[in-house]
Structure formats: C-alpha cells, structure tokens
Amino acid sequence: MSTPDLLSLAPVVPVVVVESVDQAVPVARALVAGGLPVIELTLRTPVALDAIRAIAAEVPEIAVGAGTVTTPDLAKAAKDAGATFLVSPGATPRLMDAMLDTELPFLPGTATVSEVIAVLEYGVTQMKFFPAEPSGGTAYLGSLPTVVPSARFCPTGGIRAASAPDYLALPNVGCVGGSWLTPKAALDAGDWDAVTRLAAEAAALG
Ligand code: 3PG
C-alpha cells in the first residue's frame, strides 16, 4: 500500500481472531466477496503470523494488516510475515518508534486527549480510538475536533452493526473496526457465507 490512508479502505475494518491457519484464506476471501478489501489479523493466537503469511500469499486483493501490535518485536514480525499495515491498542514511545521503523502505515491506539496529542507530535494524524465504547463512545469522540482538529480516528472496541453508523457520522471518524463480522462460531463452522453476508452489510455503510 503506497498511500497510507488506512481510514479510507472500507467503512468497517474487520478485526479477526483466527484459531487455525486454515481459517485465514477462506475468511479473507469471504470478506472480499462481501465487498471489504481489508482485514486486521490480531496477533493474539499462535497462528496469527502464519495466517497473515497465508493471506498475503494467496489473497492479493485484500489489504492484510496486523492488529494487537503491542511490542517492537511484534511490529517487525508482522512486517516480515507480509502485513501491509499495523494497528496497536495503545502507543508508547518505544512502540511508536518501532512502528515508524517498519515504514508501514499504522494506526496507533489512543483513548485520551493526551495520548492523541502524543501521537500527533510524531506527525501521525490517523489513529485508532480504543476501546471505543468503554472510553466514552460517540459522545467522547464527538467532543475532540474542537481541541485536536487534525486527528482522525478508527474507533474500535464494542462497536456492532447497530452502532457503527453513529460513529461513521462523526466528522473525525474515517472508518470503524470490529469483530462482529467474523464471529467465532462462523469461523469454527466454516460458514463463510455468513461472513460474506455480514461483510456486505458493513460495506453498505460506506
Ligand atoms: C480490537 O482488537 O480492536 C478489539 O478486540 C475489537 O473489539 P470488538 O471485539 O469489540 O469489536
């Protein structure tokens, strides 16, 4: 991805947890079939890096990113596995430096005004707002443009199909993230049609 505009890839970034590497390629294809050309694979399971590798090799039409990047080592490992973007739940100076070092586009996690300002100090204006619902949701995000007008967000955490439109209506929100498109039950059952249906509903929010 040469243009690092992560917030414009799709109205909803699917946040995906895979327990088996065999789920990776079918779930990516199901999301593409539903109209979502982006997937954030969370680095929360032992197979996550292999899953990124498989998607990067076999589903070139999707932008595959790594989520839950919490250490410099994970940032580097994700890039080496073929991730084309990174997402972190929080942003320490060490983690910011490591993500910048990868030269990949990335969304650092923020939840407070001080954290937003700290990220802006690096010249990074696109960020994740996490965990969105417990951190104040649309009321909190809606109060930020007056004080940090250059910051643009992908809120994630507790957002579902019903609440996504309220977030997407905010001027400082480019997309939302969420795991509701890829329920564990659907992945375990190999119900890829269900994933495609949920993805299509989400794509229609754009
Ligand atoms: C994330 O990693 O961004 C969150 O786990 C996604 O939150 P959700 O599962 O509530 O959508």
Mean pLDDT of the residues in the chain: 96
Are the CB atoms for 51 and 24 separated by under 8 Å? Answer: yes
Of all residues in the chain, the percent with pLDDT exceeding 70 is 98
pTM (predicted TM-score)? 0.96
Query: What is the percent of the chain with per-residue pLDDT over 90, rounded to a whole number?
Result: 97
Give distance in angstroms: CA of 180 to centre of ligand 1: 9
pLDDT, average across residues 86-100: 98
Confirm or reject: Cβ of 179 under 6 Å from ligand 1: yes
CA distances from 191 to 23, 41, 83, 196 (A): 10, 18, 25, 9
Name the 3-class secondary structure at 181: coil
Q: What is the CATH number of the domain that holds 136?
A: 3.20.20.70
Q: How many domains does the chain have?
A: 1
Q: Specify the residue for token string 């946040």.
A: 15
Name the residue at shortest CA distance from atom 7 of ligand 1: 157
CA of 123 from ligand 1 middle (Å) equals 26
Q: For residue 166, what are the domain limits?
A: 3-203
